[in-house]
Structure 1
Amino acid sequence: MKLLHHAFRLYVEPDGLEASVAFYEQLQGMPCERRIPFPDLGIEVAVCGAFIVLAGTDKALQPFRSASALLVVDDLDATIAWARDRGAEVLHGPQDAPGGRNATVRNPDGLVAEYYQSAAA
């Protein structure tokens, strides 16, 4: 079990996406790595270094808002078992997700995070 990457999750209205992306590009001195539209969900995701910006209406973002971080791990099942043994609560998943699998977990201190394992891992 290993933490490979982590990022903060931010939620903005669709018309605020460009300004948020520009801010985090300038803050980190690096361009946005990728933008992923999810038209069926009504959201667009921008990955900017240590920040993941999700843009959509309040209604479209509602299912995602509980998580404030993304933790990319090498073994989702082992990580969830480890976290549960230490008092974490799995709120949703594990399940298939774009490019891999994920679960939403409330850590013992209350932080809600999406734990994600890439299919390539």
Structure 2
Amino acid sequence: MRVLQQAIRIYTERSQWETAIQFYETLQGVPCERRVHIDETNVDAAKVGGVLLLGADQETLDTLRLVTAVYYVDSLDESYSCLKTNGAEILHGPQTVTGGRNLTARHPDGLIVEYFEPAKKKENA
């Protein structure tokens, strides 16, 4: 397992989502890399440098706030094994989601992290 990137998760109501994206673009001096709508949870997501912004209604955000960070990994299956072996509690097991697969784990120190393996890009034939 290799952690490819890490990002803190920022939660914002949809009415402030564009403003938050612009703020973090300016703050970090980088453009938004990716925007997606996650159908499973009705959440909008945007990756800006070391920040993953999540936009939704307040009720949805309240259920998401326990997760502090996201680790982008090269193998979710290896991450799962490593986490279990090293004392992490798996809160939500591996599942297919928009853009790839994820799981949520509580580290032994209490930090709750989403582990995300992006879907492999299809090569043109």
Tell me if both proteins adopt one fold, taking TM over 0.5 as the criterion.
Answer: yes
Q: Distance in 1 between matches of 2:8 and 2:85?
A: 25
Unaligned runs of 5+ in 2: none
- State the one-letter code of the partner of 1:97: V
2-side partners of 1:10 and 1:61: how far apart? 10
Deviation for aligned residue 1:3? 0.7
Aligned residues: 121
Q: 2-side partners of 1:120 and 1:38: how far apart?
A: 18
* Residue type at the aligned position of 1:37: H
Counterpart in the other structure of 2:77: 77
Moved more, 53-62 or 100-109: 53-62
Same amino acid, percent of matched pairs? 40
RMSD: 1.7
Structure 1 residues 42 and 120: alpha-carbon distance in aligned structure 2, compared to 1, 3 A threshold: closer
Q: Following superposition of structure 1 onto structure 2, how do residues 26-65 of structure 1 map, counting pairs within 5 Å?
A: 26-38=26-38, 41-65=41-65
Match of 2:11 in 1: 11
Task: Determine if the alignment matches structure 1 residue 93 to structure 2 residue 93.
Answer: yes
**TM-score of the aligned structures, taking structure 2 as reference length:** 0.87
TM-score (norm 1): 0.90
Shift of 1:99: 2.1
Stretches of structure 1 lacking an aligned partner (at least 5 in a row): none
Structure 2 CA distance for partners of 1:87 and 1:22, relative to 1, 3 Å: same
